[in-house]
Amino acid sequence: MSQKTALITGITGQDGAYLAQLLLSQGYHVCGLVPRRSTSEVNLVRLEWLGITKEVELVDGDLLDLSGLVRIVQRIQPDEVFNLGAQSFVKTSWDQPILTGQVSGLGAVNVLEALRLIKPDARYYQASTSEMYGLIQEPLQSEKTPFYPRSPYAAAKLYAHWMTVNYRESFDMYACSGILFNHESPLRGLEFVTRKVTDGVARIKKGLETELRLGNIDAKRDWGHARDYVKAMWLMLQQDQADDYVIATGRTTTVRDMCRIAFDYAGLNMEEHLVIDPAFFRPAEVDILLGDASKARAQLGWEAETSLEDMIKEMVEADLERLS
Ligand code: GDR
């Protein structure tokens, strides 16, 4: 069989890097879209960390630029396209609601349009999110649970989600939406709470800081490992028919308890260091998320493999090493 070509938007992010690694191990030619503005350098730290920077082909392009996307699709003729690019930090989306709508919402439609025009038989993966459930309508969220977004980010992602469904139904395109619950790793950005915690714990352990400032520690999330979750993305594009899937662990934990796991692992007393700071509260909060991934288990044979404890341990260790 001839080599498959994949295009990943958001390749420089956590999921993009792990997915690129997985696809390379499967023998794909991997292209990654990188938005490059003026002289700013592309952030390759995650691809470097995994040692795969030289194995991927980086293409300059932007989710906001349809004609550029059309040219890229024309040139590389991708078999599979993974749209992971987004303004993905929920809190920032209240400060940048329009940019978030353009990148995380319309950006997906630009990719779908480029494929519809040039390569309608390409398989498309949309990075949808548990944030779309927002103010939860059912205690356990599945593909059938109604959505109730609680941030400009979630509203933008919901638009992209329905457009993915719509392109599948309108144009018979193989377009899938993965509704992924929170997924973390040592490659997670420092703005997200797990990595903020593991980095903060490592700094305190090394004597570089004395406190860790967090917002709402009563929020509960269903946290899995990004390395496990990118496998689900790939599996979704290998089926006979396109469909949407929830990807989650089925366990929910408060930010407080996740934080305690990190402090305990480092042999530190959380109460001595944790400070609650109103600056990190959000205008509207998603209080609790808990995913039901039974459809993915039954149809994709996918299951979360890494426990929260093992993941936090891996992240604390990686942060301690980074600081050494
Ligand atoms: P989330 O992730 O908003 O769920 O979206 P994040 O890690 O930012 O927040 C999780 C929960 O922790 C609470 N929290 C804090 N969060 C941050 N970032 N910083 C803090 O200091 C802090 N203190 C408490 C938050 O209020 C929230 O309840 C992530 C993103 O990756 C999205 O792009 C993705 O779609 C979803 O996960 C699934």
In the predicted structure, residue 40 carries a pLDDT above the cut 70: no
Residue 42 has a pLDDT of: 83
Q: What is the pLDDT of residue 37?
A: 73
3-class SS of residue 3? coil
pTM of the predicted model over 0.95:
yes
Nearest to 159 by CA among 115, 106, 208: 106
Token pair listed for 122: 């390409």
Q: Which residues contact 301 (CB under 8 A, 6 or more apart)?
A: 235
Q: What is the pLDDT of residues 67-119, one digit of tens each?
A: 999 999 999 999 999 999 999 999 999 999 999 999 999 999 999 999 999 99
The answer to whether residue 36 scores a pLDDT higher than 90 is no
Q: Scanning the structure block, which residue is given the tokens 């390759």? A: 44
Lining ligand 1 with CB less than 6 A are: 88, 90, 129-131, 181-182, 191-193, 196, 214-217, 219, 221, 255, 280, 282, 285-286
**DSSP SS3 for 89:** coil
- Domains in the chain with CATH codes: 5-183+224-247 (3.40.50.720), 189-221+251-289+306-323 (3.90.25.10)
Which tens digit of pLDDT belongs to each residue from 267-318?
Answer: 999 999 999 999 999 999 999 999 999 999 999 999 999 999 999 999 999 9
* 153 close to 88: Cβ distance less than 8 angstroms: yes
Pick the range with the lowest mean pLDDT from 31-45, 54-68, 119-133, 303-317. Answer: 31-45
Q: How crowded is the C-beta side of 260, counted as CA atoms within 13 Å?
A: 8
Instruction: Detail the DSSP E strand segments found in 75-142.
Output: 80-83, 123-129
- Higher pLDDT: 42 or 186? It is 186
Task: Check if the beta carbon of residue 143 is closer than 8 Å to that of residue 244.
Answer: yes
Q: By percentage, how much of the chain surpasses pLDDT 90? A: 97
Looking from the CA of residue 219, the nearest atom of ligand 1 is 28
Any catalytic annotation for residue 131? yes
